[in-house]
Chain A
Amino acid sequence: NAGVMQNPRHLVRRRGQEARLRCSPMKGHSHVYWYRQLPEEGLKFMVYLQKENIIDESGMPKERFSAEFPKEGPSILRIQQVVRGDSAAYFCASSDREGTRGYEQYFGPGTRLTVT
């Protein structure tokens, strides 16, 4: 039973390029969450999606960042025109229902983005 898959595990981009991070939730899970961990910081919530819907994007930077979770395929976190400050570890989690009370979020291994 595969867990949450993220790819790539490591991604290097030059300033101004686009970064696409993919997350395949656990089988049967329809809720996806993205978190970002900046150096020396804890994980910070970015966005919560269900299939074809963004439920809460209050943690997403207002510009250059977008996320989707289409009916078919993985969830994508897209960062346009990357800057050095975007260098971080990006973690995806999934659950079979909303919330954390009793409904555990299962995390992927993360994608480490380095912007040069």
Chain B
Amino acid sequence: GNSVTQMEGPVTLSEEAFLTINCTYTATGYPSLFWYVQYPGEGLQLLLKATKADDKGSNKGFEATYRKETTSFHLEKGSVQVSDSAVYFCALSYGGSNYKLTFGKGTLLTVNP
């Protein structure tokens, strides 16, 4: 079946540091890929997405590129801020039931001033 594996946390960085959170997936065919972010006390919000190979999703300074050859969708940001502290979830959807999101376990990011 489909699955998502993402980097174990927690990740702690200083403000303005470079961020990478790794995400790899297993799926037959070509899934759509997503990153969701959950701020403390809130619901998950879609951060960015990519629906086909080599697409780059970007939003709020975050980027991720859909790499079919390595089945990866790593999240990156060049300079993190304290306000980026949150839990980040990688997810995919696929096929005829593309409303079903399959999530990774989440990575807690803490950014210190």
Contacts and interface: CB of A to CB of B under 8 A. Distances in A.
A35 B99 CA distance: 12
Interface size classification for chain B:
20 to 34
A19 interface: no
A107 B97 CA distance: 18
Interface residues of A, number: 29
Interface of B: 4, 32, 34, 36, 38, 41-46, 51, 89, 91, 93, 97-106
B103 A48 contact: no
A100 B32 contact: yes
Contact of A3 (B41, B43, B101): B43
A52 interface: no
28 contacts: A3-B43, A4-B43, A6-B43, A33-B101, A35-B101, A41-B105, A42-B4, A42-B102, A42-B106, A43-B44, A43-B89, A43-B103, A44-B102, A44-B103, A45-B100, A48-B99, A59-B100, A91-B43, A93-B44, A99-B93, A99-B98, A99-B99, A101-B51, A105-B99, A105-B101, A106-B43, A107-B38, A109-B42
Contacts of A110: 43
Nearest to B40: A109
A104 B96 CA distance: 16
